[in-house]
Amino acid sequence: MSTRRIPLAALAALLLCGGAQAQTLPAADHHQHVFSDQIIALIGPDSGLKPLPAKEVVALLDAAGIRRGVLLSTAYMYGSPRRQVADEYAQVRRENDWTAAQAAQYPDRLLAFCGIAPFKDYAIEEIRRCARQPGLKRGIKLHLGNSDVQLDQEADLKRLADVFAAANREGMAIVVHMRASIRNKRPYGAPEAQAFLDKVLPAAPDVPVQIAHLAGTGPGFDDPPARAVLATLAAAVERGHPATRKLYFDVASIAQNDTTPADAALLVKHLRQIGMGRILYGTDSAQGDNLRPKDAWAAFRKLPLTETEFAQVAENVAPYLK
């Protein structure tokens, strides 16, 4: 029998299970990162991070039986208000272009997103530039915590909506790390989630918006403010809030081996509210104590979901990857 039409993930599942009933493995990892030498130098030696090229990410995806991966540029780190960087915008362009070049080494496997610090004067210019680069045109990555976006401030909501609108005009998907700054103890809960739903999301009605880490940061689900945000977003999806029509959620680094039964039950409740068709598998960067793709999927499989639900999440592929 020909195997030409069997996806790599399905073949890997058959091999891993040795003829037993095969588990469906994720078709894509929607949340990965690569790290250049320069970004590691920026972060500093105390971070414990190391340069991480695409070939190492692909090896980890292979070990997990995952075919596709999304490399989310960390160029936004140059725009953090905690840093003063010489030739900042040049460094942002370089890091975004480097990430695109890494993905281009595996054109049938990897896709790169452009990293943007949303409140920088060059933010919309960089969105326009990335939209015209074949290797970066699919989407942007925002990290609201790193950029110290305050969702309780009207001015910040307006500026963030302008960035969403710019991405929407260019047809670029948006991956957003919503979790407000923990370091600065910024307000983050149901009111901020509602403000995001009502005042930011409507600015990007035509493109997929992916909420990273289920609105938290990880590793783990023990983050009460993030839980409140997730609960608000999940309820909005459930009741058909018009701004959620193209809203997706990735599960990167949330389910862990030590997730408690109570946390797992709450997490599953919200996943079901959202609907499994909107849940995207993701791992997060292969750095430090973060679970690697194979182990992260195994941890996710410990949640009290049905086999049908696991298969749905595994098979989901974001529109920007199609």
Per-residue pLDDT of the chain (322 residues; tens, 9 = 90+): 333 344 444 444 444 444 334 789 999 999 999 999 999 999 988 888 999 999 999 999 999 999 999 999 999 999 999 999 999 999 999 999 999 999 999 999 999 999 999 999 999 999 999 999 999 999 999 999 999 999 999 999 999 999 999 999 999 999 999 999 999 999 999 999 999 999 999 999 999 999 999 999 999 999 999 999 999 999 999 999 999 999 999 999 999 999 999 999 999 999 999 999 999 999 999 999 999 999 999 999 999 999 999 999 999 999 999 9
DSSP H or E stretch at residue 227:
helix 224-239
pLDDT of residue 19: 37
Do residues 251 and 29 lie in contact, with contact meaning Cβ atoms separated by under 8 Å? no
Residue 78 Ramachandran class (φ > 0 left, ψ -120 to 50 alpha, else beta): alpha
Q: What is the CATH number of domain 25-321?
A: 3.20.20.140
DSSP 3-state of 178 = coil
* pLDDT value for 46: 83
First to last CA, the chain: 27
- Candidates 208, 73, 71, 211; CA nearest to 151 is 211
d(CA 290, CA 35): 15
- 140 bridge partner residues: 114, 174
CA distance 34 to 137: 18
Total-model pTM: 0.93
Cβ distance 255 to 222 under 8 Å?
A: no
Give residue 41's pLDDT.
96
Q: Are 255 and 26 in contact (CB under 8 A)?
A: no
The token pair at 277 is: 């068709």
Instruction: Give the Cα separation of 296 and 282 in Å (integer).
Output: 9
The residue whose two tokens read 């408690």 is 260
Distance, C-alpha 292 to centroid of its chain: 15
Cβ 187 vs Cβ 151: under 8 Å: yes
* C-alpha–C-alpha distance, residues 175 and 70, integer Å: 11
- 71/260 Cα distance (integer angstroms): 30
Q: What is the pLDDT of residue 138?
A: 99
